[in-house]
Amino acid sequence: MTNPDRLAVAALLLSGLLLTQTAHAVDVYLKDGRILNGKIAEISGLAERYTNPMLSAGAVRPILLVDDDLRRTFVSQRLLQAIPTANATETIEKFAVWQHVRQSGLAIASMGPIVRITPFSEYGRRILTINTPKGQVNLIQGITELTPTYAKLEGLVSEQSKFVSDMRIATNSIPPDTLDKILRGQVDENSPEERKRIASFYVQAEMYEAATKELEAIAEQFGDAVREQLEPTVRLLKQMSSRRLLKELELRRDAGQHTFVFAKLKTFPTEGVAGEILQQVSDMIAKFDNEIARRDLILKTIDGLTAKVEIEADRQKIGVVRNELQNHLNFNTLDRMTAFLQFANDESMLPQERLALAVSGWLVGSDLSIRNLPVALSMLEIRGLVRQYLTAPDALSRSQVLEQIRAQEAGSPRYVARLVRQMLPLLDLPEAAPDKPGYYALSVDGPGGMPIPYWVQVPPEYDPLRRYPVIVTLNGAGTTPEQQIDWWAGAWQEGGWRAGQASRYGYIVVAPQWTSEHQKSYDFSDREHGAVLYALRDAYRRFSIDTDRVFLTGHSMGGDAVWDIGLAHPDLWAGVIPVVATSDRYDTFYWENAELLPFYVVSGELDGDKMVKNARDLDRYLTRGYPVTVVEYRGRGHEHFSDEILRLFDWMGRYKRNFFPKEFKAKSMRPWDNFFWWVELADFPARNMVLPSDWPPASGRVVETTARATDANAIFVTSGAGRVTVWLSPEMLNFDEQVNLTINGKRVTTAASADPGGQSDSDRRNRPSRLRYVEPDLEILLEDVRTRGDRLHPFWAKVEG
């Protein structure tokens, strides 16, 4: 999408210059809010494109290809928001860089993993060492075309290298100092008009500070007349820089980094900045000041009201909440106190009633706050008991705690579910290393008691009462979980901080040790699934995680794993990101499991035959309108593709898991692929189960499950499994009305639970006996949280059939 300010700067800079190139790209608006830009083509499928393009002649073309010269992006046409339209014409600054290009020789058909890359020289040349079936090969490359978005690299004439190649890399992957030297080699430094081309290039690359610096250098070198000509452009660039800084601060604020943002706002540059921008800065500062004042007012008011409470035991319990507020009431949690603030000075209410609003609001949220102080204080006691239950080592201890919870005034599933959501994580964190803040090396016992190590990096200003999105990332062969965290969160900088994108966007990164020693390929095994899922569930117990925003990603062999694990357990993920991965084995049978699961597949054009192997499954997704994006980098092989990371975060920011879909279909071929959203399966027919050690299967039969929930409180499940359990929540049905459950064509009768779930005995006796009701069950709720770890969406009841 073209930036209007950028167009204005370009017009000022290029007036009187020969236009170098006019873009013929279009803007493609997708339903998820993304905007792709590039040349477009409609295609019938990837399989024909990579094997026999002539087969697609005259065929239906349900897939859209968007080519921005750096990469090709494929999406289903069903994902389009509107018909693609040409964007505003913009002059693209493209520098042709002379190199001694090899015109003939050996073509590179496939590129293995990169062994070594030398830095670019000031002439735009480097040596790329890659693995091939015949051993390591040095490829001498030179930049022959440089644009604000991509650089074209070609093979050069050299005794060391006989290869012809055409590779594209993102311009922002070139170090700024090196980029500047390369650009200066393409212009006459004594020509102000040619120097303006460098400034224009920087503007289009959104390197506004570099553009401003170049224009100021031009003005300094060429005198007052040029300075006067450039002053309007410099002023406009300062506005663009200021807007981008403000946008960055808004991003960091939304990521929960309030202390950082507040400090930066106080020192926001004001010289030459438009009043509109400064007003926005002033408004943000005022909002921070207001929130700080609200916090102080809450604490002061609670102190005053507590002094009026006559019962000492009540004052002590209120004091516990007051201490928590002192430590944890902040920008992330102030909304819990909305109801209390509304009535804090209402003298028509007793002090105890107002304190009840404060206590209950803090414990269960403002929308469930109450005026009954004994019940509110009961919530405080229940919260402690719930923590005991969820961390108790044995069933006997849990049953004893459960009876204590049921005896409390506030011991209903409604309040307990909200207490679980609002409370601190169940397990305390170990001390992080002083030189690596927020970085933890942890371990959890997996199946059979085998320890599963995993590593976690939390973002700056991590708050255990704020829910964070999570990236679960799997390493490939020859790399480590720690390197995966570096890829997403950035390598450690001097002073103990990371500058990566997960740190900017406020994501927790989790990297389990999912491979065995010297493992070279993915085995599709229960051990590998268990390593990922056990580590994730342990992270749920230790960190404050938004379980609706957990993304599963992996590189190479790790990408193969996430493709399979994602399809096998689609209800756990907001999205799956396989990078340089292959869809194989179970993936080809489970492809329908991707209907509700967003995928973002990244690959290299020259990464062997991966795209050919993946084409059939990708076509299944794309032609049916599944939420799948496929990206292929031009002239690239088996790499990590850090070029794509900003687009990945943009994509992740637009997706959340829907844990209660009204309808879904799922396939199973392994015993442990048995839980899909709100349906659990058991007793699979042996003839349909194929263990990885028995691959390939004798036949292609799988266990298929379909489930549907209606607005009329009816649920229908059909499955080839011998036993089906339907898990229920008020997020999917109304417990106060009749529930009709049909499993495999048979109406299921639901018996009344021992736990009335907030209904009195008389209420339950007054229900017509012919109707089927499902009662919330506190034990089921707590056991579900204990075993699944999802504190956002606990199930309240279950029915087996």
Give the C-alpha separation, 748 to 208, whole Å. Answer: 66
Closest CA to 558 of 471, 627, 670, 622: 471
Locate 764 and state its tokens.
Answer: 């339950």
Single out the residue in 150, 185, 220 at which a domain terminates: 185
Do residues 581 and 467 both lie within one domain? yes
**CATH code for the domain of 635:** 3.40.50.1820
Single out the residue in 153, 185, 217 at which a domain terminates: 185
- Judged against a pLDDT cut of 60, whether residue 759 lies above it is answered with no
pLDDT confidence of residue 763: 47
Do residues 582 and 628 both lie within one domain? yes
Secondary structure of residue 207 in the 3-state scheme:
coil
Do residues 740 and 792 both lie within one domain? yes
pLDDT confidence of residue 438: 97
Give the C-alpha separation, 713 to 715, whole Å. Answer: 7
Task: List the strands of the sheet with 663-668, edge to edge.
Answer: 663-668, 703-709, 714-719, 740-743, 746-748
Angle between helices 351-364 and 275-306 (to 10 degrees): 120
Per-residue pLDDT tens for 312-360?
A: 999 999 999 999 999 999 999 999 999 999 999 999 999 999 999 999 9
pLDDT confidence of residue 761: 41
- Judged against a pLDDT cut of 70, whether residue 749 lies above it is answered with no
Per-residue pLDDT tens for 269-310?
A: 999 899 999 999 999 999 999 999 999 999 999 999 999 999
- Judged against a pLDDT cut of 80, whether residue 651 lies above it is answered with yes
Locate 578 and state its tokens.
Answer: 């396989």
Check if the beta carbon of residue 719 is closer than 8 Å to that of residue 695: no
pLDDT confidence of residue 770: 40
Give the C-alpha separation, 622 to 294, whole Å. Answer: 50
Polymer length in residues for the chain: 801
Binned at pLDDT 50, 70 and 90, residue 374 comes out as very high
Q: Residue 224 falls within a domain, yes or no? A: no
- Judged against a pLDDT cut of 80, whether residue 85 lies above it is answered with no
Do residues 653 and 690 both lie within one domain? no
Q: How far is CA 6 from the centre of its chain?
A: 30
Element (H, E) at 141: strand 135-146
pLDDT: which is higher, 611 or 23: 611
pLDDT confidence of residue 434: 86
Q: Residue 237 falls within a domain, yes or no? A: no
Give the C-alpha separation, 352 to 374, whole Å. Answer: 9
Mean pLDDT calculated for residue range 585-604: 98
Single out the residue in 121, 152, 185 at which a domain terminates: 185
Q: Residue 246 falls within a domain, yes or no? A: no
Do residues 500 and 365 both lie within one domain? no
Q: Lowest mean pLDDT of 55-59, 82-86, 404-408, 447-451, name the range.
A: 55-59
Binned at pLDDT 50, 70 and 90, residue 752 comes out as very low
Per-residue pLDDT tens for 108-129?
A: 878 888 899 999 999 999 999 9
Mean pLDDT calculated for residue range 372-391: 98
pLDDT confidence of residue 17: 40
Locate 511 and state its tokens.
Answer: 């990297």
Mean pLDDT calculated for residue range 441-467: 95
Q: Residue 214 falls within a domain, yes or no? A: no
Do residues 613 and 709 both lie within one domain? no
Do residues 401 and 343 both lie within one domain? yes
Q: Residue 242 falls within a domain, yes or no? A: no
pTM, full prediction: 0.93
Mean pLDDT calculated for residue range 779-797: 98
Do residues 649 and 684 both lie within one domain? no
Binned at pLDDT 50, 70 and 90, residue 34 comes out as very high
Per-residue pLDDT tens for 142-187?
A: 999 999 999 999 999 988 778 888 999 999 999 999 999 999 999 9
**CATH code for the domain of 171:** 2.40.50
Q: Residue 339 falls within a domain, yes or no? A: yes
C-alpha to C-alpha distances, 634 to 71, 151, 204, 432, 578, nearest whole angstrom: 5, 11, 21, 42, 18
CB-facing half-sphere around the CA of 289: CA atoms within 13 A: 8
Give the C-alpha separation, 783 to 770, whole Å. Answer: 30
Per-residue pLDDT tens for 530-572?
A: 999 999 999 999 999 999 999 999 999 999 999 999 999 999 9
- Judged against a pLDDT cut of 80, whether residue 584 lies above it is answered with yes
pLDDT confidence of residue 764: 46
Mean pLDDT calculated for residue range 218-245: 93
Q: Lowest mean pLDDT of 3-12, 481-490, 609-618, name the range.
A: 3-12
Do residues 497 and 392 both lie within one domain? no
pLDDT confidence of residue 406: 97
Q: Say how many domains are in the chain.
A: 4
Binned at pLDDT 50, 70 and 90, residue 701 comes out as confident
Q: Is 716 exposed, middle or buried (0-12, 13-18, 19+ CB in 10 A)?
A: middle
As a whole-number percent, the residues of the chain with pLDDT over 90 amount to: 82
Do residues 774 and 694 both lie within one domain? yes
pLDDT confidence of residue 3: 65
Mean pLDDT calculated for residue range 657-686: 97
Q: Residue 63 falls within a domain, yes or no? A: no
Do residues 333 and 417 both lie within one domain? yes
Give the C-alpha separation, 144 to 122, whole Å. Answer: 13
Q: Lowest mean pLDDT of 101-110, 506-515, 750-759, name the range.
A: 750-759
Give the C-alpha separation, 510 to 455, whole Å. Answer: 6
Check if the beta carbon of residue 400 is closer than 8 Å to that of residue 384: no
Do residues 688 and 741 both lie within one domain? yes
Locate 340 and state its tokens.
Answer: 């209390």
Q: Lowest mean pLDDT of 159-173, 437-451, 748-762, name the range.
A: 748-762
In terms of DSSP bridges, do strands 599-604 and 628-633 run parallel, antiparallel, or are they unpaired? parallel
Domain that holds residue 794: 679-800
Q: Residue 59 falls within a domain, yes or no? A: no
Gap between the terminal Cα atoms of the chain: 53
Q: What average pLDDT does the structure give for the chain?
A: 92
Q: What is the CB neighbour count within 10 angstroms for residue 51? A: 11
Give the C-alpha separation, 102 to 98, whole Å. Answer: 12
